[in-house]
Amino acid sequence: MSYIIELKRIEAVIMTKKRRSRGRSKGGKGRGALVQCSMCGALVPRDKAKKETRWVSLVDPTLSRELRARGAYIPGQRVLKYYCVSCAVHRGIVKVRERELRRTAY
Ligand SMILES: [Zn+2]
């Protein structure tokens, strides 16, 4: 009996933990908000999703270059996108990393 308990304790100690953050930036807090992946539409926790901020111009690039040459200021539009982990890997935002490198956060 005590042998089994001891075995379970050892199992608990060496339980697999791939990442220091467990793939999230949640910490000790409980359940958080969900966001929708911009690619596949999956609902993922916001602290797990990969966030990408892009500045896009609404003006045509050739036109904006011409306008900038004449001294015009063209403000960019901020586009915020959330990706689930598999879509982030697919898009190359995050990469599959080897065991030691996984310990450090992005
Ligand atoms: Zn996705």
- Per-residue pLDDT of 35-74, as tens digits, reads 999 999 999 999 999 999 999 888 899 999 999 999 999 8
84-98 per-position pLDDT tens digit: 999 999 999 999 888
Any idea what the Cα angle at residue 86 is, between residues 15 and 91, rounded to 5°? 135
What does the pLDDT look like over 5-31, one tens digit per residue?
666 666 666 777 888 888 899 989 999
How far away, in angstroms, is 57 Cα from ligand 1 center? 25
Tell me how far the alpha carbon of residue 101 lies from the centroid of ligand 1, in angstroms.
23
Instruction: Round to whole Å and give the CA distance between 77 and 74.
Output: 10
Cα of 39 to ligand 1 centre, how many Å? 5
Residue length of the chain:
106
Give me the CATH code for the 31-97+101-105 domain, please: 3.30.1740.20
CA angle 88-90-92, nearest 5°? 65
Whole-structure pTM value: 0.71
Sketch the domain layout of the chain as residue ranges: 31-97+101-105
Give the largest CA-CA distance in the chain: 83
